[in-house]
Structure 1
Amino acid sequence: MEKHPPQEPTVAAADTPTAKAGPVVVVRRWLVLAAVIGLVFWVSTAAPGFFEDLQGGRIRSAADYRTQDIRTREAGKTTVARLRPGSGKADGMRKEGSTSCVDDMGFDGDGVTRDQPHYVWPLDYAREADYLADLDKVRAAWREHGWEVRDTQEETDQDSPRRERRWPGIHTVADHGITLSMSPDRFTNKPTLSADGGCVRYREEQGVAARERSGAADSGSPARKGTLTYDDGVRVSIGPVRAVTPSPAGEGDAAPAAHAYSVPVTVTNGSGAPVELRSYDVGSYENANPGLRNPVPYSPELASSTPVRVAEGETTHLELVYSADKELSRLRFTFAPGEFHLPYQWALSIP
């Protein structure tokens, strides 16, 4: 009979209960989760705006810049009109350059640029009392608009041998973010009015669109003449075409063409900012006019490198001369009144 050594009794291990997280651990987990959710929300919402501001603001259209430019000019002109007669001229402003509205980091890319509509009107006062009276008048007008007006403290010109006292000034932020100020110039100590529309980044090809087109500007069948009106009030009228005697003007060393056609263009500026016309504002698509010697017409007015400036409320007339080696029955070309307006195709019949 076999004998075995005595066995120790086996004790079954009891189930160990799962450890529960304490209140401190639970709170920490919720805090981490909330931080993650907050970070995701910031990345999806605030971060794009943060990086846009870092790059100089959001990219807008050339039409938006044109609108802000007109608003800035108008804000300054309206203030000048409140001053006593002879103290300033509404059309006497000059454009100020900006050292801050530049793309130093190369963020803008192709087709994107930036500019700052900032204008200064020189003011003329024989007595300080007259200046202060107008200053109070402007302050009251700005406050009537609900704008907060802040005073510029009187200062002593430390660079002046006599340490002349500067006259006081005021400034405010008007509608559309336009900063207005009336104060002495920091260098000349002469009173000025300033209107600053801020730095605007914009796409050059997204210009002001047309709101009304008729006749040859309606992109349909050729017509004798047509009219196109842009959203900002600039109006272009072109036609009718007439045959003229070919001239060597604009032909260079080439012999005069067999045929020539004169196209009258009238630009009326009903907007609140000037329009500058250049030779490259006129063009045509390849093979748009078979028989045409040069798709770019000759214009006596646009022959100079200096643009033709059409001020607010003024009208300018141009002549476009096309040369052709054979007789044409119609002309198709594009025209834009300046860099801030979209080009449109014109179809003109030739009698």
Structure 2
Amino acid sequence: MDFGFTREDEDFRAEVRDWLAAHATGASDRRAWERTLGAAGWIGIGWGVEGYGNRRVGLTRQVVWAEEYARSGAPARSGHIGENLLAPTLIAHGSEEQKARFLPPIAAGDELWCQGYSEPGAGSDLAGIRTAAVRVADGRGYRVTGQKIWTSLAHEADWCFVLARTEAGSRRHRGLSFLLVPMDQPGRIEVRPIRQLTGTSDFNEVFFDGAHAEEVVGGEGDGWRVAMSLLGFERGVSTLAQQIGFAQELEGVVRAARESGAVRDPVVRERLVRQWAELRAMRWNSLRTLGGSGDAGAPSVAKLLWAGWHQRLGELAVLVRGAAAGVGPADWSASAPYELDAAQHLFLFSRADTVYGGSDQIQRTIIAERVLGLPREPKGAV
């Protein structure tokens, strides 16, 4: 596919820019902003179906929306997990009743979701999870017990989709089910924020103590297939929007290099040019993949590319500022142990880029086994 934008796509781009300029300025309440997006039909434009309160547009216009949203400075999305992960999974594997129940509130921005996959000791090795779900006596649902970790937005979410072991004694990918768990269960679900180096708490630990779940997607025991299908939706159009943010960060680093005089160093100049060139290559690789020219390892290649690139940008962000990069603001207080400027935040947060969302080791293993056909990595006893 020759991926390009038509005149109609550019007209759509102008519509998107005008709408965002009129509505995004001053939007600070993230949940209210989700409802604003939903009321205008902007949530779920890439689902491939309509009728749930969402618009339906083609791939090029999904790219336009994602790019213009990133450029607009609009609030960070808190509904993206429901919109971009759960909803496509329900469309592919859910019952008609489940689609009718859950898709409209996602499209309206009324219900937020989080993802219950990773566990202590079973992060990238997803088949090693231990969270258990036992059928209740009357057969109507399950009682879920276990712990999940690195759960983004769990402190805001109304629901969590949870991969749990519904067959006692099962191992690895067998005996797993994909459950939909309401988060408002006091005494049965506890969310503990994880404080990061940046001073923020974007991730959480979630403890389930007999939490009730009635909905299972794809049937009991079919959780591994459903979970892998969901991971296939994780990287796509959103990577192009991510790259817009990367470009803005790179512009900030270049500006800082000029202000500090570091740009006069030929080594720094070479690194800045390399960052720019690699970012352009990532964009064209993403467009090629969206156009249908990718392969089974394309998502893993993309993750390896941007994770390492972003870490190197974080290192450059502090390098070009010299000693000033280690100086904090004058208004530190006991209530706020430290505040970070943009460069410091970029450096510290990007340390995790090669770990979360599937570590570099896991991505290389996927490429080796599924693309290059190399022997499978030996697995230890579980």
TM-score band, normalised by the shorter chain? under 0.3
Higher helix share: 2
- Which structure has the larger Rg over C-alpha atoms? 1
